[in-house]
Structure 1
């Protein structure tokens, strides 16, 4: 007999009440343990203080929920809370109870004196509760708009069932038709100021740290969320008018948030207390000044869980001085925000601190952060600041797992950083040229999973790469290593790369003389052949290096998704591509390209981005027919002469075409043709040296491309044209019957919706 609706409601109500009772009693226990104990920076005391407040907020959240907000996910959340509180947390509280033989203070002191610096039991239990506290269920009842809640809950089913959204309001569809996790990620993206260029990995690493999923970092779920936002054009590429659109060694294609979406999600984030930005805080501060009796407005920001401050507003700084910021878990500050009166010391329980681009943040401010005893801080970014030194006090950031010091003037890693258990370390764009010796990294190598070195911008990384210690095998758990400088290392060091069996992303620098030295070539082949999990391989070569020896790779790489070689060249398209069936990103330079070579490239069934260099002048047109390239979305070609012909229905999903060419003597017919046959094309970019703008071959190529783009208007396409990074506002329309130009302006292009089902394949290195 199936239970009735009333019986189910009674059971759900009982489960929630049981969870409330347990949480409330645990909060009372924390309060009792704190009575008569002096408050301070002690780790265990701070854990108890945090628990007392956080449990109060969770109890209030569950109490505010009516049965209409209770669903399977809510009950699962309550069950996990109950299990954690009655299990690990209860045991940890027993261990920390001052009534036991050792006092709370003595136990805390012992914890700090331990040589292994492992987090104690109470800190681990608190971290788990902190993760559960930020479950999406926490905000479900705050989405009081029934339409929003309905869209968020049912969007997944709608998208899978082929529903017809025409009968719905398109404004609602754009903003609310996401699964709830995707919707929260959209809300979280307002932590970036509008117009800020960010990297996919950087965003997702911050988000998983902030939501407590650090143990698995970026999983498939986060990639799905990101892909849905790209598919809906909430976030878009920012590098389409750049000369170098290809991803670099860390897969860092840049993105930003659509302006209207940024405004909308900033407003919605503030409404439910998810994120407060400078703009929303300034509005609330102004309202509080105008109406001091408005207690509802004032109470909205009593629990400031996330703050993103981009601009200097004296009202905001004054407001922050009067708020309880002890439960704020994420803080992002950038721009010209004044630091003199900024209450950094009040953010004691931060999990994520991002000061990237904060103009006023200097060495002494980093010391302030470290001395504030932010025991729960997992993620710290000082990227693009004036910091020149990592202080010894950084070891007091007890839980730190992600450190981004890129684009700073930091010259060395202090000994004290080795006491941390970092999982991700970003030192790109710093003057650091040599990592410390292995005796100092015994703790660092045991947990480090991502190590980013050298320059951030492709070719520059070959000039500024940081040297690794010789005993590379210590970094056993590395999954991402970019960029390791091999130019001055012995062949044995290159061979040792193969011992890093968990590597999925590898970027190296390689000199001209190494490509002609059989020992070095065999060492590199040996290493790559042993990296069975490798998904991305990037090799920055010396100019003109012959890389044909890579064709001797002996095993099929079914998992390899990205293959990139810069400056080096191949005699023809590598035969090894027959085995790399999963490649979605390829960048190579070849000395010939015939029908057989094109057939190999067409055989890459999931190829989405192709960057192809031609180190020769073609004697006939390179014809791209309607076979193969079914998934290709972005095509860049670097060559003396872009003599390309695109047949009807060629590259059906191509949205971006880039051509960089030189001033070479050519026949009048050796110009691109058939661009109008690219049915999904959204953008075309031409690059050439402006010194040769009046060269006849340059002028013929530009005019031919303009005519092809103009033809697209007759097929309802409106691709935009960029020449040397500048968008061309007027492209003549061509009458297909007469072949003459009509002189009508093409106007502003409309971006065609990319068919992005799995953004991870084109952006992950």
Structure 2
């Protein structure tokens, strides 16, 4: 990469440390310019050293020490060796508690997406995390992950709309340094198939093997497998025979796949002999046969299986230390899960195939903090009955912080982007009777096209800690707006309304004071933002129909009152009968409205062929005619055609940002 110029280097440094160039204190100005100069224009060097300094803003003597310690190697020789010296300097100046966490990253290869939950639980299983009074280990581990993000040691990939980083990658130069440092300190040995013959220290505690599609690769012969405590493997199924030699593993991560000639299943029975195991994650494209007996794994804390399984061992309910259980959809848990009282996270619990007994047993698992639900059969009796009972069960889960209902067949990654229309409905009557919802609940995400409430349930307004809400309702009233606006912690709201509103939806300066993300889907976006509304809103997502333009405004009125909005994303449904004039009118109405905004937010407009199935709108037609109000008739925009071919981006005003092809990251 071509080195940055002086101004660009300084801007990058100051924005990383202080947020902006003008925010640099006078006392740090001179030393800052000197440090930037020593980075030789290398972006990674600038960001790395800036991230180190960002936690020491009040310690001028520390800045002077770091400046003197840097030397001039990057100025005179801005190459890999100079960068390695800088990374080594930054590593040596890290807090001790982060060093082991960083060295664990050498388990992964360049380009691997690393999920936060995986790292958090691996670090705990390794013994790197110690509880602090008032905080469980998972909370401490998550803070460490966020600290690595803040120091730019890892780079975010998936970020939810609440700003939380869910996954990351490691820059190839940083990963190369970490891998070398890890080998140097005999912390972890990471090899690929070309290094299988490499001679390593015989006492290897942690081993990572990336064998790709090589079918005859094996671990280095001089390694004493019984000494290995952590094993990570990526490769084909045929290379898995060596796994039985590792007897004292605490952490085991397996990513393997079958080829065209291999068998379609793999037996994991021998894993039941790994009596020290604390963390187990298995990902595969073949059917997995779990051990018939797992009760011997008394220390197991995390079990994650991403792949088809042919059943769950009945004695899994007797694992006393199991905290995190993640199994694929279509998994029928054994009876007796009432005994799994240590569980904190459970996913996916399939409402279509688990018995009513299992569902009722969830009420006894009062340590549950995160429950991920799904359904694999849309019209099963179990699904209907379980949804009816779910509300009363939630009342008893006093520690619950998150509950989600995921689309069948969706992975954790792509549930971030699921947003498809469907004709299916699941009754939510059982949820409507909630009287005392869990006080700690922070996140509720249901499938808004499937789970449709008549209006915002009263119990929603009792959630003082609720941060993320995704919900579908049949109709919206001013009372619903008041209930939602009264949630003091709400930062992310996705609201799907299935009938056209009979009156304009008005958002005033009351409520929604910290809302950062607002998604609104309805056949008609008949709403108005008054001055002072949603003062902290950053992202606005809209979805509406262009062919419903017979009565109301095309787009929300007074978008310019959303003073902090940075990004506006609209999906406009255009039917096959819509003409070009109608489509252009929809675009023009939105672009003209945003042009009035002083902040010049970026705008993406997509024409699509779906928003909702539209059936619910027919219910409202008679009621709407009776309720017509005597106002000047505004215009309504029709929704677009093919999403792939009709992307319409508008760059509004000078300084507006372009975001071509950005994905809809809505919850």
Are the aligned partners of 1:535 and 1:559 in contact in 2 as well (CA < 8 Å)? yes
Q: Which residue number corresponds to residue 547 of structure 2? A: 664
Q: Distance in 1 between matches of 2:589 and 2:255?
A: 48
Q: Which residue number corresponds to residue 242 of structure 2? A: 368
Q: Which residue number corresponds to residue 208 of structure 1? A: 124
Are the aligned partners of 1:199 and 1:252 in contact in 2 as well (CA < 8 Å)? no
Does the C-alpha gap of structure 1 residues 308 and 572 become closer, same or farther in structure 2, counting only changes over 3 Å? Answer: farther
CA drift of 1:568 comes to 0.8
Q: Per the alignment, in what secondary structure is the counterpart of residue 456 of structure 2?
A: coil
Bigger Rg, which one:
1
CA drift of 1:253 comes to 7.3
Q: Distance in 2 between matches of 1:226 and 1:703?
A: 44
Q: Distance in 1 between matches of 2:401 and 2:149?
A: 22
Q: Deviating runs (4+, > 6 A) in structure 1? A: 147-151, 161-178, 214-217, 383-387, 510-517, 725-730
Q: Per the alignment, in what secondary structure is the counterpart of residue 286 of structure 2?
A: coil
CA drift of 1:698 comes to 5.3
The equivalent position to 1:565 in structure 2, one of 440, 446, 451, is 446
CA drift of 1:682 comes to 4.3
Q: Distance in 2 between matches of 1:569 and 1:337?
A: 50
Q: Distance in 2 between matches of 1:378 and 1:366?
A: 16
CA drift of 1:710 comes to 5.6
Q: With the length of structure 1 as denominator, give the TM-score of the two structures.
A: 0.59
Q: Distance in 2 between matches of 1:602 and 1:663?
A: 28
Q: Does 1:525 align with 2:406?
A: no
Q: Does 1:479 align with 2:344?
A: yes
Does the C-alpha gap of structure 1 residues 694 and 346 become closer, same or farther in structure 2, counting only changes over 3 Å? Answer: farther
Alignment of 1:745-764 (within 5 A): 746-747=657-658
Q: Which residue number corresponds to residue 171 of structure 2? A: 262
Q: Distance in 2 between matches of 1:182 and 1:647?
A: 47
CA drift of 1:572 comes to 0.8
Q: Does 1:423 align with 2:301?
A: yes
Q: Per the alignment, in what secondary structure is the counterpart of residue 493 of structure 2?
A: strand
Q: Which residue number corresponds to residue 627 of structure 2? A: none
CA drift of 1:149 comes to 11
Q: Does 1:535 align with 2:412?
A: no
Does the C-alpha gap of structure 1 residues 184 and 584 become closer, same or farther in structure 2, counting only changes over 3 Å? Answer: farther
Q: Which residue number corresponds to residue 605 of structure 1? A: 488
The equivalent position to 1:636 in structure 2, one of 514, 519, 524, is 519
The one-character-per-residue Cα deviations of 1:241-284 (angstroms, maximum 9, x if unpaired) are xxxx779xxx9974334xxx72453354256x13xxxxxxxxxx
Q: Distance in 1 between matches of 2:103 and 2:589?
A: 45
Are the aligned partners of 2:287 and 2:307 in contact in 1 as well (CA < 8 Å)? no
Q: Distance in 1 between matches of 2:273 and 2:574?
A: 54
Q: Distance in 1 between matches of 2:521 and 2:445?
A: 14
Q: Which residue number corresponds to residue 7 of structure 2? A: none
Does the C-alpha gap of structure 1 residues 326 and 540 become closer, same or farther in structure 2, counting only changes over 3 Å? Answer: same
CA drift of 1:524 comes to 2.9
Q: With the length of structure 2 as denominator, give the TM-score of the two structures.
A: 0.66
Q: Which residue number corresponds to residue 499 of structure 1? A: 364
The equivalent position to 2:373 in structure 1, one of 504, 508, 520, is 508
The one-character-per-residue Cα deviations of 1:173-194 (angstroms, maximum 9, x if unpaired) are 9978975545764565464444
Q: Does 1:413 align with 2:290?
A: yes
Bigger fraction of residues in strand: 2
The one-character-per-residue Cα deviations of 1:130-160 (angstroms, maximum 9, x if unpaired) are xxxxxxxxxxxxxxx9x999986x865648x
Are the aligned partners of 2:367 and 2:399 in contact in 1 as well (CA < 8 Å)? yes
Q: Per the alignment, in what secondary structure is the counterpart of residue 201 of structure 1?
A: helix
Q: Which residue number corresponds to residue 622 of structure 1? A: 505
Q: Which residue number corresponds to residue 114 of structure 1? A: none
Bigger fraction of residues in helix: 1
Q: Which residue number corresponds to residue 552 of structure 1? A: 433
Does the C-alpha gap of structure 1 residues 499 and 677 become closer, same or farther in structure 2, counting only changes over 3 Å? Answer: same
Q: Does 1:395 align with 2:272?
A: yes
Q: Distance in 2 between matches of 1:504 and 1:155?
A: 33
Q: Which residue number corresponds to residue 346 of structure 1? A: 223
Does the C-alpha gap of structure 1 residues 184 and 524 become closer, same or farther in structure 2, counting only changes over 3 Å? Answer: same
Q: Distance in 1 between matches of 2:605 and 2:61?
A: 37
After superposition, the CA RMSD in angstroms is 4.8
Q: Which residue number corresponds to residue 334 of structure 2? A: 469
Moved more, 647-656 or 530-539: 647-656
Q: Which residue number corresponds to residue 74 of structure 1? A: none
Residue segments in structure 2 that go unaligned for 5+ positions in a row: 1-44, 75-85, 408-422, 607-642
Q: Per the alignment, in what secondary structure is the counterpart of residue 403 of structure 1?
A: strand
The equivalent position to 2:650 in structure 1, one of 716, 731, 735, is 731
Does the C-alpha gap of structure 1 residues 411 and 700 become closer, same or farther in structure 2, counting only changes over 3 Å? Answer: farther
